[in-house]
Amino acid sequence: MKRILFAASECVPFIKTGGLADVCGALPKEFDKENWDVRVVIPNYSCIPEWFRNQMQYVTHFYMSTGPYIQNKYVGVLQYQFEGVTYYFIDNQEYFSGDKPYGDFRTDIEKFTFFDKAVLSMLPLIGFRPDLIHCHDWQTGLIPVYLKNEFQGDMFFWGIKTIMTIHNLKFQGVWDVKTMQGLTGFPKELFTPDKLEFKKDANMLKGGLVYADYITTVSDTYAYEIQTPEYGEGLDGLLSARHFDMQGIVNGIDYMNYNPAIDEKLYVNYDAETWRKKKALNKERLQQDLGLAVDKKKFMIGLVSRLTDQKGLDLINHVMEGIVDEHTQFVIIGTGEPQYENMFRHYAWKYPDRVSANICYNDDLARKLYAAADAFLMPSRFEPCGLTQLISFRHGTVPIVRETGGLKDTVIPYNEFENTGDGFSFRDYNADDMLYVINYAKHVYYDCKRQWNQMVDRGITKDFSWNASKFRYEGLYRYLLGE
């Protein structure tokens, strides 16, 4: 029996701000329980729903110091079983109270330094010694550092392997060296350019990337891209140096959770056999509810996204007038930077029967949109994996994407000469190229309906469930554990 511990800052169904939470919630359930004991540890945020918090069981508590700035702090350990997986919650009200999981950056740096040491410190006390700790993003970057340094004095920790998974390299946990020394208790030898030092500051993610036994990221193309200056966020040199210990594994989605045949949130359920008749009924109902012109012949484009620079929204702004012609509707769901929220509000005011701007995050509405839309737009500047295009395929909705990261790995561009492909893509970060591809998609939708339907058929039967990716993780775990 191999024992694996996932360490992360968020996890579905307890707390979620992004795709990281979906991965940590869905992947551990996929492993065969006879051979794998996969458990998860996250902070015990007070914003986790009361229903879950009331069911957590106390396991143990202790007091812990990290550096001079974090002295003699309470660490509680709670436990909860959910869908066959054991979850641990690190409890400390000073660090994990509040109405959202992240706050100001200096506080986040401190609380995740505390969390990382607490994860290792709890292990001997809860009677679980993992063979491997799978760390996710910068918030857990110090776990491999503590493990290979301070904790090597205890035989219990000898031989535990670590993997560092990069979900988004843009976020790294960078702060000044003096503060980080005070928080972590690390000796100054660790704050050198070949270890934690980064442009004269200290970098938590870099620490994890230096000390982990292996690095993964969430798509093959992103693994290649982050070794280049354009996408490497200053760490491309380190990642290039470690490229033999690194691979990309595309994320999956939970195929039971996103299943248009049984999802109660949809207006009308359908599957790969019945979508031709029933999918358009979802479109008409959504048009009605959002106050758009009700007409199943309109080409409906969906966008569910954080409204940030990363997502390519400046390209949309350049050519929005060209996108929303009289045959097209555009439905946006998301929150983010005020300039983009206001941009979409403006177009919704200007074209009330064509554009619907829902400046919120609403899972029910998002699911209705996946089922209603004909196409989903993802013009990202960079995209480590992307889940939106995978959810679109599942709902028989055609992705229109920029060829970057996981979008390039998962969407096969339509080829009219061979009648192959399951989406549309453009390569350069350019608004005119994007508009050209959107118009080409409309042309296929209206003038080559049979080919469009065959493209939908190919997408809706693709398998991006976790079942496919879990075999690659199993292989990697076995390799690291010397099998």
What's the pLDDT at 361?
Answer: 84
Q: What is the mean pLDDT of residues 2-18?
A: 95
Per-residue model confidence as pLDDT tens digits over 26-46 = 999 999 999 999 999 999 999
Average pLDDT of the segment spanning 239-251? 96
Q: What is the mean pLDDT of the chain?
A: 97
Task: Please give the average per-residue pLDDT across 203-209, as a whole number.
Answer: 98
CB 185 within 8 A of CB 65: yes
Output the pLDDT for position 403: 98
Mean pLDDT calculated for residue range 433-442: 98
Task: Give the pLDDT confidence of 298-317 residue by residue, as tens digits.
Answer: 999 999 999 999 999 999 99
Non-local (6+) Cβ contacts of 143 within 8 A are 7, 116, 119, 120, 133, 135, 162, 208
pLDDT of residue 249: 95
- Residue 458 identity (one-letter amino acid): R
Q: What is the pLDDT of residues 330-380, one digit of tens each?
A: 999 999 999 999 999 999 999 999 999 999 988 899 999 999 999 999 999
The predicted structure's pLDDT at residue 411: 98
Range scoring the smallest mean pLDDT among 157-161, 251-255, 380-384: 251-255
**Local structure of 79: helix, strand or coil:** strand
| Half-sphere exposure of residue 392: CA atoms within 13 angstroms, side-chain side | 29
Question: pLDDT-based confidence at 19, cuts 50/70/90?
Answer: confident
> Nearest-5° angle of CA 320, CA 323, CA 328?
130
With a cut of 90, say whether residue 420 has pLDDT above it. Answer: yes
Give the integer Cα–Cα distance in Å for 81 and 33: 14
| Domains, in order of start, for the chain | 2-252+466-480 (3.40.50.2000), 275-460 (3.40.50.2000)
The packing angle between helices 275-290 and 363-372, to 10°, is: 130
Mean pLDDT computed over 460-473: 92
User: pLDDT for 69-125, tens place per residue?
Assistant: 999 999 999 999 999 999 999 999 999 998 999 999 999 999 999 999 999 999 999
Mean pLDDT of 171-178: 98
- Mean pLDDT on 265-284: 97
What was the pLDDT predicted at 458? Answer: 98
Q: Is the pLDDT of residue 468 over 90?
A: no
pLDDT value, residue 254:
86
User: Quick one: pLDDT at residue 433?
Assistant: 98
Q: pLDDT, tens digit, for every residue of 150-164?
A: 999 999 999 999 999
pLDDT surpassing 90 at residue 17: no
Q: Which residues have a Cβ under 8 Å from the Cβ of 357 and sit 6 or more positions away?
A: 332, 341, 344, 345, 347, 348
| Residue 391: pLDDT over 90 | yes
User: Has residue 18 got a pLDDT over 90?
Assistant: no
